[in-house]
């Protein structure tokens, strides 16, 4: 989130101007060591409370003494049964092994490669991995790679925030949100952040 992004959104959209005035700015990007680690952690957190996911990840990491986080070759060398004992479901074990295999094969690119790819190319590459959908990649682009122009139109919170902030009677479709969001380019990541804040503010307390 930059001053230029805030200035642009204030200029092109009075509703965004009000959201920016009402809510604190985004705290910034949290970077992980590698796309491999990001995807493993993202899959671990799917459909689980954060604390439960972190507990399972800690058990997995404990399989590799002396390592902050295993590499893809190391993860492939561990038996699926060991990963199951750490707490992963069969589907997640299959996804983790596919992440590792596709990292070794180069389908999941290194960070230095991702920095040279546009957003669409990153989505195309990473969604080839089992268990990794477009939404997961968009979250990584926004919160780990700091890409400034990502609008996750399938995200329920973003759509709910738009409905609340813009006083719409019905939830916008992804296509409607995508069309409206053209005015926010090239700072749609910041716009999405404020739509999440609008959704939170609209929840019954």
Half-sphere exposure of 38 (CA within 13 A, CB side): 25
Beta carbons of 194 and 14 less than 8 angstroms apart = no
Active site residues: 155
Q: Hey, what's the torsion of the CAs at 122, 130, 140, 56, to 10 degrees? A: -160
Locate all alpha helices (DSSP H) within the chain, ordered by sequence.
3-12, 14-22, 35-45, 50-61, 72-77, 80-86, 90-105, 111-114, 119-126, 134-143, 156-165, 174-180, 188-202
How big is the chain by its Cα radius of gyration, in Å?
19
Q: Which residue has the tokens 């990473």?
A: 126
In 3-state terms, what secondary structure has residue 194? helix
Which tokens is 197 given?
């804040």
Half-sphere exposure of 47 (CA within 13 A, CB side): 6
């Amino acid at each position: 989130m930059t001053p230029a992004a805030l200035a642009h959104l204030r200029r092109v959209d009075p509703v965004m101007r009000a959201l920016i005035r009402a809510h604190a700015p985004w705290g910034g990007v949290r970077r992980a060591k590698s796309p491999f680690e990001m995807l493993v952690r993202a899959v671990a957190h799917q459909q689980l409370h954060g604390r439960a996911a972190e507990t399972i990840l800690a058990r997995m990491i404990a399989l590799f003494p002396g390592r902050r986080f295993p590499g893809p070759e190391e993860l492939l060398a561990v038996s699926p049964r060991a990963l199951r004992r750490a707490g992963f479901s069969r589907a997640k074990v299959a996804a983790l092994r596919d992440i590792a295999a596709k990292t070794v094969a180069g389908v999941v690119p290194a960070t230095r490669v991702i920095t040279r790819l546009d957003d669409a190319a990153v989505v195309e590459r990473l969604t080839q991995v089992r268990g990794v959908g477009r939404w997961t990649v968009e979250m990584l682009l926004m919160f780990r790679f700091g890409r400034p122009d990502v609008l996750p139109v399938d995200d329920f919170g973003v759509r709910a925030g738009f409905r609340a902030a813009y006083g719409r009677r019905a939830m916008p479709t992804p296509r409607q949100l995508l069309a409206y969001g053209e005015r926010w380019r090239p700072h749609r990541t910041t716009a999405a952040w404020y739509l999440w804040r609008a959704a939170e503010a609209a929840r019954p307390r």
